[in-house]
Amino acid sequence: MSSGSFSEATRILYEGHKLKGLAMTPEAFPLFNTTAFTMGDLDDVDKTYSEKGYTYVRTRNPNRTALAEAISFLELGSHSLIFSSGMGGITTTYFSLLNPGDHFICNSYIYGETFDAINQLVRKCSVEVDFVDFTDLELLRSAIKPNTKMLYTEVVSNPTDVIADIEEIAKIACLAGAWLMVDNTFTTPLAVKPLSLGADIVINSLTKFLNGHSDALAGSITVKDYNLFSRIQEIRMLTGTSAEPYTAWTVFKGLQTVHLRVNKQMENAAKLAGALEASPVVLKVNHPSLKSNPQHELAKKIFKDDNHMTGVLSFDMPDDKEKINQFMNRLRLAHYAPTLGGIRTSLSHPVHSSHHHVPEAERKKMGISYGTMRVSCGIEDAEDLTADFMQALEVFK
């Protein structure tokens, strides 16, 4: 779609609907639930392969192409690949770009299963790994080595919302001749576009906010460099981490309402964070919108306003399992679910889920205690949501 003067919220409804080789114009983009596309004689086969047309489902499929074009539009990238999960996108990219003897630096504030993947998979490939606090830019600079090939971070960390200054980290990576890979799942391209800040690769777990309906498992990577895209695409095909057509079709449908959903979710999170901070029984609230947040000035630099940063927050309660259980049982709206980004507000306990395998000492460094609860805000009425949390917290009084 030509850019014209239309807003992003309008254009996302039209991106990806017109694909090369498809003359159809249905109002709803169709599902191509097929493992292969037929061809004619060998001349037709040669032509199809040379033009990178649709052949076998693991290589290309129109549903993945449509979704990839829409994600590229949102992330201001040139090329996207759609994976069977966010972790599939992360690990496939590692395998595509890192070689034995390379040095890899990851932010020490990181999602638990990314932490596990690095320690259990990347290290096995004889890649040197360091976890560094990316909030300390001097410490990060000092960690750079001649063989450093990639820096990896989330925009805001799971689950404590610690912000990484993507623009400054990108400068460090560039000077080192290394790639910067950024996980934008918590923030989404509606809040920040890491490629425009200097990142080389952006990962999204499409399972979460971008799909938004808790009914599909998928991930994406987005780049501007075609050579990077080609290297990752080849390994994706060989490792079989492509998303299947139905999933891509489902996420593409969910993406049509992303502006309506995610803006509301981010606004709800900011309001709930403020209410929780005012509660005398809450020990700490992690959300960049709060003026008390030590990174609030950085948040104002990165995001457009306090109400549109991330739909996820976390907060600390006393480490009292019995009281935490009572709190959870009193909630009428929010419910426990080991995921995030859906239209209904959900809770997750990092010690039991996302960071279960992370050693306790490392969890504490990340600011995660037994009383830490992650909240992914849905699209409920903000006043209803806040009132529900406040009445449930009464158990701590």
The string of DSSP letters for 254-309 reads: HHTTHHHHHHHHHHHHHHHHHHHHH-TT--EEE-TT-TTSTTHHHHHHHSSSTTSS
Same domain, 313 and 190: no
Please report the pLDDT score of residue 25 as a whole number: 78
What does the block give as tokens for 38? 């037929």
Please report the pLDDT score of residue 3 as a whole number: 60
Same domain, 239 and 306: no
Same domain, 28 and 122: yes
Same domain, 263 and 241: no
Compute the chain's Rg from CA coordinates.
21
The Cα angle at residue 255 between residues 253 and 259, in degrees rounded to 5: 135
> Which residue range forms the structural domain that includes residue 304?
258-396
Task: Give how many domains the chain has, as a whole number.
Answer: 2
Same domain, 47 and 166: yes
Same domain, 126 and 270: no
Please report the pLDDT score of residue 364 as a whole number: 85
Please report the pLDDT score of residue 377 as a whole number: 98
Please report the pLDDT score of residue 394 as a whole number: 97
**Domain stop point among 203, 225, 255:** 255
The Cα angle at residue 84 between residues 260 and 357, in degrees rounded to 5: 95
Q: CB of 94 within 8 A of CB of 120?
A: no
**Domain stop point among 255, 287, 315:** 255
Same domain, 239 and 303: no
Chain centre distance of CA 40: 41
**Domain stop point among 192, 224, 255:** 255
Same domain, 267 and 314: yes
Prediction pTM value: 0.94
Q: What is the mean pLDDT for each group of 10 consecutive residues in the chain (397 residues)?
A: 80 86 80 94 95 94 97 98 98 98 97 94 97 98 98 97 98 98 98 98 98 98 98 96 98 97 98 98 98 97 97 97 97 96 97 86 89 97 98 96
**Phi/psi of residue 104, nearest 5 degrees:** -125, 130
Please report the pLDDT score of residue 2 as a whole number: 61
Please report the pLDDT score of residue 136 as a whole number: 98
